[in-house]
A = this chain, B = another copy of it.
Amino acid sequence: MEIRSKFWIEIDQEPAFGRGRRFLLEAIDTHGSINQAAKEINISYRKAWSYIKTMESRLGIKLVERYVGGRNGGGAFLTDEAREFLEKYKIMEEGLREIVDERFRHVFHR
């Protein structure tokens, strides 16, 4: 028996950003490619792509700059706005899980 918790940002009652999308952006930053990033965090390219699409449309910010063609097909990188947003989100999420876990243990175990 264990506690689970989840946090996300909504805009107009629709999910716009959460932990999974955070990891996706971080992986894009590392690899310079949506495709590689998706592989790393174990989701399909299709899913990564629609994550980005909804994020950008709901937040109203361009997050990922993409280019296509060239020696190795193309690639993607984060915009400054994306990095800024990511940073804020990380600060917010930091330690939240631990607070929840601690409470759970306190009440249910001893």
Contacts and interface: CB of A to CB of B under 8 A. Distances in A.
Contact of A4 (B7, B88, B107): B7
Interface of A: 1-11, 15-16, 88, 91-92, 96, 99-100, 103-104, 106-108
Contacts of A103: 92, 96
Contacts of A2: 9-11
Contacts of A99: 96, 99
Nearest to A90: B107
Given A4-B9, A99-B99, 4 more contacts: A1-B9, A2-B9, A3-B8, A88-B107
Contact of A3 (B4, B5, B7, B108): B7
